[in-house]
A and B are shown apart, each in its own frame.
Chain A
């Protein structure tokens, strides 16, 4: 139990579907992150939220739309995805105030498959 819960754990969707990934953290952290993990590629940072404000968008295509209604919840809205978007999507959270020195706590990810 890491304190970061992601749902669903697995998702299969067609390219024309719209779905959302959800992340919830129970650690009292103020920073939350979305990462994409593909085979044979390093972990790719997608978005960073700090106190509900987006502070990083790592040139992510607009078919991925994040939402952070409060410091405990993070969503990733998906629409018209491509087959190359199939990957493990990981959410993480951390304390803020010391930059990248803070450890990040990860959820177990959503395994996304695009048909």
Chain B
């Protein structure tokens, strides 16, 4: 069973602070996707990383895929209240199987 562990499970910080959340596995994935889910809604894709060591930036969010393609991190700079939500990582394989393995999630709360 491929397992994606996310840490921390819960994080509550003040607006304006920086934070990093992690997604770790013992398995290799061909891609890693990050989603954000807000209350009452389904997860929404933020980014996909596919190359070991890849770094992608989405405004104040920086995503990195580990060199061995087993882990990933999400760094948020100067957090805003709109960043509040459940952050989910999901690992994918390249061929023959459309399914994703979702992580355990990090519930982020930004305090005004």
Contact, CB under 8 Å: A31 / B98: yes
Closest to A42 in B: B104
B99 to chain A, nearest CB (A): 6
B100 proximal to A (CB < 8 A): yes
B64 proximal to A (CB < 8 A): no
Selected from B43, B44, B45, B98, the residue in CB contact (under 8 A) with A100 is: B98
Give chain B residues whose Cβ lies under 8 Å from the Cβ of A4: 42
Q: What is the number of residues of chain B that contact chain A, defined by CB distance less than 8 Å?
A: 31
Closest to A58 in B: B99
Q: What is the number of residues of chain A that contact chain B, defined by CB distance less than 8 Å?
A: 27
The number of A-B residue pairs with CB atoms under 8 Å apart is 78
A residues with CB within 8 A of B? 2, 4, 31, 33, 42-43, 45, 48, 50, 55-56, 90, 92, 94, 96, 98-109
B26 proximal to A (CB < 8 A): no
Contact, CB under 8 Å: A2 / B98: no
B residues with CB within 8 A of A? 4, 29-31, 33, 35, 40-45, 48, 50, 88, 90-105
Closest to B92 in A: A100
Contact, CB under 8 Å: B42 / A100: no
Give chain A residues whose Cβ lies under 8 Å from the Cβ of B95: 99
Give chain A residues whose Cβ lies under 8 Å from the Cβ of B44: 2, 106
Contact, CB under 8 Å: B48 / A103: yes
Known: A100-B92, A101-B31. A42 touches B103 (CB 8 A): yes
Contact, CB under 8 Å: B94 / A98: yes
B59 to chain A, nearest CB (A): 18
Contact, CB under 8 Å: B105 / A42: yes
B81 to chain A, nearest CB (A): 21
Known: A43-B88, A101-B94, A103-B33. A56 touches B48 (CB 8 A): no
The interface centre, meaning the residue of B91, B92, B100, B103 with most chain A CB atoms within 10 A of its CB, is B100
Known: A2-B44, A42-B104, A42-B105. A101 touches B99 (CB 8 A): no
Give chain B residues whose Cβ lies under 8 Å from the Cβ of A96: 98
Contact, CB under 8 Å: A100 / B105: no
Contact, CB under 8 Å: A104 / B45: yes
Give chain B residues whose Cβ lies under 8 Å from the Cβ of A103: 33, 45, 48
